[in-house]
Amino acid sequence: MQAVILAAGMGTRLRPVTANRSKAMVPALGRPLVERALLPFTKNGVRDFVFVISPDDAEIRNHFTERTSLDITARFVIQEERLGMAHALRLAAPLVDGRFVVSACDSLLDPAHVRKLFSVDDEADAVLSLLDVEPEKLCQSGVVEMDGVQIRRIVEKPSPANAPSNTVSLPHYVFSPRLLEFLPSVKPSLRGEYELQDAIQGLIDCDRTVIGVLADKRFQVSSPEDLLELTHQLFSDGSEPLRIGPAAVSRGLNLVEPYHIERGAVLGDDCEVGPEVYLESGCHIGYGAIVRRSVVLRGGRVAESETVEDRIVT
């Protein structure tokens, strides 16, 4: 199975983290966010990836062609204008062959949920990842109307009063090639974007089988606060090894586990770093500084004797 990863977003709500990189390439404990988003799919056997990226994102190309340790094939499609998910998928369509996955780069799933998506009958033309949410969050997503496991209707970003349920569609899908036939007929929405939900509704209206699979959870990275919370979660689950770049050790350095320090991070003497600290290559920690439960990204500087706690420094 192939996967199309939508990675052309600017990440406006993630600023200043995205001031000099794309949302897809924001690091979460040493891995770009986009790589963490595709890990649940590689763990379920997907190796062929098509990335829809912005024209100025050379960093993502470099990562997946030269730096990643993942055993995948990566191809790239340029989305000159950010005109929605259906527009992005239409650009990727010439590279799609057979049944395929579509996933956003900022929404993280559990591999077990992806396994459930893949286990649905191959005769289904669309399998949607679903999540039950609080009423105040219904206006942020497409809300589905269900008949058993089959989806009968999708309402894009309704008010709570007009929502057919409290179940929303997440940006993770499994499609048959039939979905591609509906993309050319999608019209711009009121916000000027080509919505993928309209193509899915086209399948439903033609009596094609569209099935929903409920997820227990997912993690959405939309803000700096989300990135900091994700970092804490990655540290706390114990799956990430402690790491320190060989050049990072300074005189009097006090490391408190867990931490992740990349080669190229500069630490002054007598610093205290940790617990739950991620230092990206190209950051600078001043003499005698204290950094706890924080992320310091490339170009970020912690001043001499400064204390930083529960922050992202850019």
The pLDDT of 249-264, averaged and rounded, is 89
Residues of the chain within CATH 3.90.550.10 domain(s) are 2-220
Is the pLDDT at 314 greater than 80, yes or no? yes
The listed range with the strongest mean pLDDT (154-163, 193-202, 237-246) is 193-202
Is the pLDDT at 52 greater than 90, yes or no? yes
Q: What is the pTM of this model?
A: 0.92
Is the pLDDT at 241 greater than 80, yes or no? no
Q: Evaluate whether 283 touches 267 at the Cβ level (below 8 Å).
A: no
Residues of the chain within CATH 2.160.10.10 domain(s) are 241-313
Is the pLDDT at 35 greater than 90, yes or no? yes
- pLDDT one-digit tens code per residue, 159-188: 778 888 889 999 999 999 999 999 999 999
The pLDDT of 4-33, averaged and rounded, is 93
Least confident of 18-27, 118-127, 175-184, 289-298: 118-127
**Fold of domain 2-220:** Spore Coat Polysaccharide Biosynthesis Protein SpsA; Chain A (3.90.550)
Is the pLDDT at 243 greater than 80, yes or no? no
- pLDDT one-digit tens code per residue, 97-149: 999 999 999 999 999 999 999 998 778 999 999 999 888 777 777 889 988 88
Is the pLDDT at 246 greater than 60, yes or no? no
In CATH, which superfamily holds the domain spanning 241-313?
Answer: Hexapeptide repeat proteins (2.160.10.10)
